[in-house]
Chains A and B, each alone.
Chain A
């Protein structure tokens, strides 16, 4: 909402200066977006000084001038003026300027092979005089300190631009703003002058509001103004329209716009001679069409509120008029409309047709239904004053009467809500100045809500009015109460926190990527999940919710590889979507690792990252977050985007159905498809939701501290075993031989090939044996050795290597 201070002062008697007004507006909830002069085409012309003028290399009559325009660098301008000389102060017009004389827009151009950035101006070009022989010579003493400043003073009045919240339609007119300011003590609201407009004759174009279920209009007021001379608006009116940032059109249109911004009362003027017999306000039927004042043709659907005559649709009520009945300079007789349209109907129609107008914006928020006559009278007076003519009696048709809103308000609610007290006297004064009618019934105030405040319906709205006008600075600052109702974080929130920082501590950079992704990449990672398209995506490559965290991670990994980074570790923790209903999402960590370990190290051999690097990262992170490593079970079944032979799933324990994590190499097909250029690429993911919370807190679940001081013994075994036999099973097999004595089993060598039969591998393990009761003698150890060998051989078909 834009307006000037002098416009405001037509409604408000105030001693406040501009800055006080601005502050007050902000303090009562009318946020000031800006307060500045409206821009002028003349703003670009600036005072400049020729530093050096030399002859153009290709043209004797032209000069090449280095011009100081008040910035760091001088500008080179080609100039034909004979008086261009070193040290001359003149006026410079940069590219983009519009030259007042010929309305030409300047651009950077080459003049005889030399580029000229803008031009130096003559008085004639700026319409200051007829002097066109040379460029302007500015007086040294007046302008020497003004280089770089605007040459023309911007004389237009400063415009206040307010951002009006959707609950305040009344402040979409200057009078409403003045009323709010007066309530807040910024002045006195001026009383509207009584109209002395004389009416002649009746409004004899019949108006009918059809009683229909979907009728979007409840009141239609109108009057005829005959014998007008439409013309260009007078300067004061043009200035007002320009200050709104709009283009003046003609006196009649400008007047209706002026009244709309002045009183928040949209009007519409029809050329009465173009109306076919009568006005019918009705609901449209599908397929009807009309050409609107924005020169577009609209095809209507059912139940849109239209103003029509016998020939068809004239316009969309409260949204936009039509060209068929539009006023022109030649218009002699006009029908002026002032109506009330239902916000719901306006909103629906404008959404369907995608039209936004000032009238629509206002009706959608709620226009004062009792302002019908006021609007007609104010506009008629102005029309009479500017265009002449005779006004008919006002004709107001309605199908519904306005019902007052009454609120019984207990002033205690104010203190209860805001924490501070305002005397009843002051409170009533504020409300009355805002237009409420206040009567007292013991402690309760009976309030009649002003018709221009559709937003006020219940007591809490009254609290807001009072505290807003009184000032939020009166609210006390109470020290926060530290009472806690429950722990800050629950188990999964803690897990999130631990895992996030645990993974980062393994050298991964955390990133945050969009929750949506490109369906083409998502396709590669979504497995059996349903694709979840976004109906209105921001762009076609962010068109689905991500079914996995990897599409974005891989996409950005590639971007970083393309930037020249080789060794990259990235992870994200966030949602991955399984369906389109609320809650169909899992919290997942996805991590990628590319490149080499120990690249260009002087002492370590460099190698490509592999599955066991990420296996370590994932298992260690899980353990650090509280998962018992001894319970973890690894499986080789993984989603299809993993390398089928080089990836694994992690289970919290042997009985769990869902893997809590996967790790491994990414499938080579995906690397190829996405054209990722890297030496190695391994990934892992952890699904937080599948991790089961331990039933006991750590203080209850720590096992008894047991240790043994008896002699430990280490024994090495090497088995020849089927190639596909899993080492995890071998280890468990050995442990189960005597899980009291066997403290640990470590794989220290695995190989295939030379001396090993086809389809077999050799696994070497080191077994630590220790008793908690005694030192084992050779005999005891031999027995265990034999047991280990025989049990492994019989259960697995392995052979001990001799």
Chain B
């Protein structure tokens, strides 16, 4: 028995210093192979006395366990070492650049349209659209702006024919006409889109964007108009407080009409909305003129409501600090990358209007 113990100690010593996996495996078979030392020792058990056998078997089992344990630890140890060594060799410079990333962007006008739609969606408006080419009737006459009306001078119109019958819409208001002509009240819509006027300078572009709003029902009054726009402006500029002023004005298609100013101040060369004592005109609105309602077959003694028109590009400029309107339409790669929005940045109520 002491032999066996000695052998065990020798092998433990051997294993302690061994670092080669093959040699460890050799030791394993020397001990536990078919003719291995331990295997043989077990075979001998049959030839000895019962009492001796019990004792020896127990010792032998302990030795076997100890050795097997030692071997498996050793194997694991060597394997870990080898793997670590291999991994060490495989190390790469992870600070090298990733494969080329190409980042697309959404144009600020599109983003602002989505922001506006999201806000109005919250208070029950749906989105309508109309064609860019309009006839004279929808753009002017139906909107209570007859041909001899000086208000037409305020719209420098692009015409598509010499009779001035076909034109590029000068505002989104013809969508009101189309919407009401094809449906029955109540109406609760916004209509964003392209609009066109033939002037072009630093602050005017021949094409720009407007969003029209229209809410017609039985008892919609100017208080609702104020409430709706107040809600919109606060949500859009993402401020808690907004200074807003309704000022009487004139549009042929609304009466009473108003222009809406918001308060602002210049802080470090940047516009801060909602503070200060300067006023900035941002939209026109009013109660839809009874003549317009008659023109679209809505009974003005039963139904009434408000309409508004907002310059989208200008809202975007104010919110995102863009100075030059012309740059919106000049497709400068640098500008688009700078002012564009991530395509995943979808304005919504639950995720927030903007990041």
Contacts and interface: CB of A to CB of B under 8 A. Distances in A.
A593 to B, nearest CB: 10
B126 A476 contact: no
A489 B114 CA distance: 11
Contact of B106 (A510, A537, A582): A510
B100 A347 contact: no
B220 to A, nearest CB: 9
Contacts of B333: 509, 560, 563, 565, 568, 570
Nearest to A606: B100
Contacts of B132: 515, 575, 577, 585
B8 interface: no
Interface string A134-174: 00000000000000000000000000000001111000000
Interface in B219-250: 219, 221-224, 226-228, 230-231, 245-250
Nearest to A494: B127
Given A485-B186, A569-B104, A580-B160, A417 B222 contact: yes
Given A481-B124, A488-B121, A598 B343 contact: no
B248 A347 contact: no
B150 A467 contact: no
A535 B117 CA distance: 34
A419 B257 contact: no
B105 interface: yes
Contacts of B328: 512
B307 interface: no
Interface string B116-128: 0100111111110
Interface in A529-581: 532-538, 542, 545, 552, 556, 559-560, 563, 565, 567-570, 573-575, 577, 580-581
Interface stretch (B29-37, B39-47, B193-201): B193-201
Given A420-B223, A485-B186, A575-B194, A510 B151 contact: no
Interface stretch (B13-21, B54-62, B161-169): B161-169
A754 B329 CA distance: 52
Nearest to A538: B206
A582 B250 contact: no
A482 B289 CA distance: 24
Contact of A365 (B96, B150, B256): B150
B255 interface: yes
A197 interface: no
A586 to B, nearest CB: 11
B126 A501 contact: no
Contact of A484 (B106, B126, B256): B126
A359 to B, nearest CB: 14
Contact of B226 (A475, A560, A585): A475
B109 interface: yes
From B122, B230, B333, B337, residue with most partner A Cβ within 10 Å: B333
Contacts of B110: 500, 510, 512, 573
B227 A31 contact: no
Given A484-B124, A581-B166, A29 B249 contact: yes
A512 B107 contact: yes
B263 interface: no
Nearest to B161: A535
B83 interface: no
B123 A347 contact: no
A545 B132 CA distance: 10
Contacts of B160: 532-535, 545, 580
Contacts of B129: 493
Contacts of B122: 482
B329 A509 contact: no
Contacts of A26: 247
Nearest to B196: A515
B119 to A, nearest CB: 10
A577 B104 CA distance: 26
B198 A510 contact: no
A515 B102 contact: no
A113 interface: no
A452 B200 CA distance: 36
A377 interface: no
B159 interface: yes
A476 B223 contact: yes
Contacts of A490: 127
B258 interface: yes
A418 B222 contact: yes
Contacts of A506: 104
A102 interface: no
Contact of B221 (A417, A460, A533): A417
Contacts of A485: 124, 126, 186-188
Nearest to B109: A512
Contact of B133 (A461, A477, A584): A584
Contacts of A580: 133, 160-161, 166
B296 interface: no
B331 A513 contact: yes
B81 interface: no
Interface in B35-93: none
A545 B258 contact: no
A29 B247 contact: yes
Contact of A511 (B103, B107, B344): B107
B248 A29 contact: yes
Contact of A472 (B227, B247, B250): B247
A467 B222 contact: yes
A344 B149 CA distance: 8
B348 to A, nearest CB: 11
A423 interface: no
B204 to A, nearest CB: 10
Interface string A335-361: 000000001100110000000000000
B248 A468 contact: yes
A417 B256 contact: yes
A575 B106 CA distance: 17
A514 B207 contact: yes
Contacts of A603: 96, 99
B22 interface: no
Contact of A556 (B134, B256, B331, B346): B331
Nearest to A511: B331
A470 B50 CA distance: 121
B340 interface: yes
B62 to A, nearest CB: 48
A507 B340 CA distance: 12
Contact of A165 (B138, B200, B230, B250): B250
Interface string B300-328: 00001000000000000000000000001
Given A510-B104, A585-B132, 17 more contacts: A166-B150, A166-B153, A348-B148, A472-B245, A472-B248, A476-B226, A480-B124, A482-B123, A482-B124, A500-B106, A506-B104, A515-B168, A545-B168, A568-B333, A583-B131, A598-B99, A601-B100
12 contacts: A27-B247, A29-B247, A343-B148, A460-B255, A480-B228, A485-B126, A501-B343, A514-B207, A535-B161, A585-B131, A604-B99, A604-B100
Interface of A: 26-29, 31, 165-168, 343-344, 347-348, 364-365, 416-420, 458, 460-461, 463-464, 467-468, 472-473, 475-490, 493, 497, 500-516, 532-538, 542, 545, 552, 556, 559-560, 563, 565, 567-570, 573-575, 577, 580-585, 597-599, 601-604
Shortest Cβ-Cβ A-B pairs, 10 listed: A29-B248, A507-B102, A419-B223, A165-B250, A556-B331, A419-B221, A504-B343, A504-B104, A464-B256, A484-B124
